[in-house]
Structure 1
Amino acid sequence: MNRDAPRIKLRLEYDAPLVLGPGKAQLLRLIGQLGSISAAGRRMGMSYKRAWSLVEEMNAAFAAPLVDSSRGGAGGGGAAVTPTGQAVLRHFDALERLLRDKGAADLAAIGALMKGED
């Protein structure tokens, strides 16, 4: 076990109901980069149905959708992260940085209390 490099996985649980964690944040990032829910899902090793379900869950929980999508077909479909989705990602990333940076001493203290490698 490497006590020098703990991993922080932020998981926000809302009564909406919504759990927003690193997986959904990564899905949003990839949709923004790739312009496609299916491509983002494939990149993460999940089916389109699963990726779409997560997008619907996030869109339903917020006052404005996080992802705007258009149907496929002859002209092709696509998806984009909305300004609300971009704001959610910015705040999520800021919280992760805050925990990592401001919590460094606490993380080190917890690590120091752990069993060492034998």
Structure 2
Amino acid sequence: MQLEVKSKTWLEADGKFIMGEHGIALLDAIDELGSIQHAARQVGWSYRRAWGYLKTMERHAGVPILVISHGGTAGGGTRLTPQARKLLREYKRLQKTLRAAIRQKSRLLFSY
């Protein structure tokens, strides 16, 4: 039997939740699709839920997360700010490191 340790990670600022795995998925989808509405649909959220999550994320993180352009000839769209891209990149890097360390320690401690 192989027991395995599982963990969840999230970011907080001064004890206030910024984002977790669902937020990462939403930001990834926005980055890929250029639309909050399409990104929300991709992660299984309503637009309203995604918008509220993003506004709370910005407020708690204290940095802008999105650059939104409205209408025009090219249509509207949403992009991640450089700060959001860095947050996303570093969070993913940390998650990868933590998962590898937990997997290694788990094998060492719980292999029977």
Q: Which moved more, 1:93-102 or 1:64-73?
A: 64-73
Give distance in 1, aligned partners of 2:2 and 2:73.
Answer: 52
Query: Tell me, which stretches of 5 or more residues in structure 1 are unaligned?
Result: 114-118
* Distance (whole Å) between structure 1 residues aligned to residue 109 and residue 20 of structure 2: 22
Q: What amino acid sits opposite 2:90 in the alignment?
A: H
Q: Partner residue of 2:68?
A: 69
Per-residue CA distance 1:27-60 (angstroms, 9 max, x = gap): 1111000000010000011110111111111111
Where does residue 94 of structure 2 map in the other structure?
Answer: 95
User: Identity over the aligned pairs, expressed in percent?
Assistant: 32
With a CA cutoff of 8 Å and minimum separation of 6, indicate the structure with the bigger relative contact order: 2
Contact 2:67 2:80 in 1 (8 A): yes
Q: Which protein has the bigger helix share?
A: 2
> Which one-letter code corresponds to 1:47 in the other structure?
S
Shift of the 33–77 alpha-carbon distance from structure 1 to 2, 3 Å rule, reads same
TM-score scaled by length of structure 1? 0.77
Measure the CA separation in 1 of the matches of 2:103 and 2:96.
Answer: 10
Instruction: Name the count of aligned residue pairs.
Output: 112
Which 5+ residue runs of structure 2 have no aligned equivalent? none
Structure 1 segments of 4+ aligned residues over 6 angstroms from their partners? none
RMSD: 2.6
CA contact (8 A) 1:8 1:96 kept: no
Letter in 1 for 2:57: M
Structure-2 separation of matches of 1:111 and 1:52: 42
